[in-house]
Amino acid sequence: MSAAPGPYTLADYATLARAGMDQGVWDFCAGGAGEERTLAANVEAFDRVRFRPRVLTGVGRPDTATRILGRTWAAPVGIAPLAYHTLADPAGEVATAGAAGRAGLPFVVSTFAGRTFEDIAKAAAAPLWLQVYCFRDRDTTRALIERAELAGFEALVLTADAPQLGRRLRDLRNGFRLPDGIVPANLTGDGFASPADHALAEFDAALDWSVIAWLRSISSLPVLVKGILTAADARQAVAAGAAGIVVSNHGGRQLDGVPATLDVLPEIAGALQGACPVLIDGGVRRGSDVLAALALGADAVLLGRPVLHGLAVGGEAGVERVLSTVVDELAETMAFTGTASVDRANPPLVGGAEPAGQVAEPLRSRTGGPGLRKEELHGSVSDPVLDTMNFLNEVTHRYPDAVSFAPGRPYDGFFETEDVFTYLRRYLDHLAAEGATPEQVRSAIFQYGPTAGQIRELVADSLRKDEGIEVPPESVVVTVGCQEAMFLAVRALISGPDDVLLVSSPCYVGITGAARLLDVEVRAVEESEKGFSCADLEAALLAERARGRRPRAFYVIPDHSNPSGTTMPLRTRQELLALAERHDFLILEDSPYRMVSPGEQLPTLKSLDRERRVVHLGSYSKTLFPGTRVGFVVADQQVVDRAGNTGLLADELARIKSMLTVNTSPVSQAVTAGMLLSVDGRTSELNTRTAAYYGDAMRVTLRELDRCFPEDDRSALGISWNEPDGGFFLAVTVPFRADNAALERSAEDFGVIWTPMSYFYPQGGGESSLRLSVSYLSHAEIADGVERLARFVRAQAAQRFPAAAEPRAEH
């Protein structure tokens, strides 16, 4: 059916859907009588919630985005699994997936979907998860999971309470059978007398917690358990290996007296203490319900029947309107309660604070000292992006004998300890030759020094000689590594909640981490297989402006990028500069790998910049001396205050730096300056040998990949890689989910470590690819490591493509 576009509440969609549906179909979608009572209890629990409004909070546009299982969702809302969307609309789950993709929200697809996994995946632009029923015939379950994984699904949601399916009395009284043409598109067979009969006949009613280990053994996808209603079961699920839980009371269970999900949520969330994502479904009918669930401990909610109602009323557009209604209502409630972002939702929002006049009992740590509630700390401390490097370091130390392609750091063989003293003396002699007194020389080493840096003239001179970048020294700020340069630039340029930072995706985690710490919204501009496209960036710019936001800057690594190793062509660089001028935004150019790459390099964006559109971020960590942690930012843009006074953006960055690190270590600056002076500012001369070494390392890696994966094997295995001509990194596409679990197996069983590419996609992606860093290893270690990697890839592929995984006899 179709109806006018509204605006409607979710209750309106239910009324319209019921009016247009056959009574038997409506009863089936509404569930059995027991399930209907359970749903009513869930709705009533949300109705009891009372929010505590806040005033003068300064919250403008709340941030509804959240990150779960490594993917960023536009809001903490997903679509719950419901069978046979084709009962509501012929397009069924295909239409639902299309609407979910445009909303940026995930969709949990039922095993009993009316459209094939492949068709659903083609329409999807947001994460798809598969609801799993465990059949008595495990091969049936395995085949479904393999098909979903091949189609690009990203997680499994085991419905744990389905074997105890209640009797659907209304379906029995109606004699309900699925209408002609409505079939489970992903299961073979001659059709079913009724969904309930099929469940009772085919579901494995003897499941125990070992089923999670079995699911993990046949698939690399994370497993969530749906149907949790007690803290004990929640803890058991995590102990069994679940990556998340869904608090749910109607995934088939229709007993009277089952508690409302919202009522048991605080106990369950409190028992887990952030050990895994906690989702909840059942009874969500308003955006305020979403915030209530978050405040009581959920990470996200799953929305079920309202989606089906929207599909019945308006097809794909109806689903999109239902989702946008919920998200809009969520944002309104957040603003009303002074909640700036979803990670700041906590019990006091819904009356969970201590009674007036009483003081909360202080927390105590395990050592007996004062403790802190993590939920009261900044949300970034729980953000996965801040855990990526810690996880890699943990894996590397846990498996010291493994060959590690993870570290993106220079090769140790280039450093001589005594050189530190040589370069330090070189700079001190330079100061004396310039007329500095002994007292001034001493002060230059032992005292704090100017915030903007004391070697700015040498940095500017080096940039002119090495890169053709002509800027005055006063436009340079010397920083504590390039990471501080990013932080300063983002903090200065992003002034409010409507400002957006765009990044080329995949991108270096340092920029997304800095943005997260600063509560800055990031918009990813996805690269294609051919690399970055200005057309895609322009489309993102226009889309952000249509949302009422102001794109302020675009971050990119044009040369041998981290993580993919791609290089931006000269023509694209020129197009990007023209685009920045046309749409009035700045470019944050980060190019740390140019001087350590062989051959002639393309000109930097900054050297081509004639309109001061480029803020150039630099570092001497890769080219000179990682341990000094000396970086810099070139910010020659003019800044005009309200009185008409002008200055440089560099001056503003220095003001911020004065409150952050005060200044960059004078000793580190002195050693770096001595290195620059030793080659008259031409760092390319210091890097002739290193560039040749890294170029050879890249060629050795590519040669070994060719040897271990002959061309005829690659398509059968589903493996491929790019071929950078410089830098430290390349990307490898593999036929499985390259996540933390796969990495641990690779390290433990095969002795080789790599980096999941998904770490570098701020809004999701890269789940089936990995990054190899070639910089830190000797050529012999590279050859050994690629052989180990090949054995691991073939072992993983053997679970799905046994014949293709067998290596050819000649190698």
Task: Tell me the CA distances in angstroms from 696 to 703, 780, 784, one per residue in order.
Answer: 10, 12, 16
CA–CA gap between residue 56 and residue 401 (Å, rounded): 57
- Sequence-separated contacts (24+) of 678-681 with Cβ below 8 Å: 678/423, 678/426, 680/465, 681/458, 681/461, 681/462, 681/464, 681/465, 681/466
Listed in sequence order, the residues at least 6 apart from 255 whose beta carbon sits closer than 8 Å to its beta carbon are 34, 166
751: left (phi over 0), alpha (psi -120 to 50) or beta: left
CA–CA gap between residue 306 and residue 300 (Å, rounded): 16
Tokens of 370: 């004062």
Q: Is the torsion defined by CA of 357, 363, 368, 370 positive or negative?
A: negative
Residue holding tokens 């009993």? 112
CA–CA gap between residue 54 and residue 41 (Å, rounded): 29
CA–CA gap between residue 286 and residue 327 (Å, rounded): 9
Q: Which of 679, 661, 562, 10 is nearest to 311 (CA)?
A: 10
Residue holding tokens 């309200």? 642
Check residue 382 and report its DSSP letter.
G
Q: Is the torsion defined by CA of 737, 739, 745, 751 positive or negative?
A: positive
Q: What is the DSSP string of 661-700?
A: TSS--HHHHHHHHHHHHHTTT-HHHHTHHHHHHHHHHHHH
Yes or no: say if 611 and 577 are a contact pair by the CB < 8 Å rule.
yes
Q: How many CA atoms lie within 13 A of 446 on its CB side?
A: 6
Q: Is 560 a catalytic residue?
A: no
Residue holding tokens 């749409």? 583
CA–CA gap between residue 591 and residue 730 (Å, rounded): 16
Which member of 85, 198, 250, 616 is catalytic? 250
Task: Tell me the CA distances in angstroms from 797 to 79, 215, 403, 772, one per residue in order.
Answer: 31, 16, 21, 19
Task: Tell me the CA distances in angstroms from 405 to 409, 463, 743, 771, one per residue in order.
Answer: 10, 31, 11, 8
Q: What is the DSSP string of 34-86?
A: HHHHHHHHHHHHHHT-------S----S-B--EEETTEEESSSEEEPP-S-GG
Strand-pairing partners, residue 131, are 157
- Quick one: which H or E segment has residue 247? strand 244-247
- DSSP alpha helix (H) spans, 338-404: 388-398
Q: Which of 716, 719, 715 is nearest to 731 (CA)?
A: 719
Residue holding tokens 């498996």? 399
* 3-state secondary structure labels for all residues of 409-456: CCCHHHCCCCHHHHHHHHHHHHHHHCCCCHHHHHHHHHCCCCCCCCCH
CA–CA gap between residue 7 and residue 478 (Å, rounded): 54
Yes or no: say if 563 and 729 are a contact pair by the CB < 8 Å rule.
yes
Q: Which of 90, 87, 205, 93 is nearest to 148 (CA)?
A: 93
Task: Map residue 560 onto helix, strand or coil.
Answer: coil
Peptide bond into 724 cis (omega under 30): no
Active site residues: 250
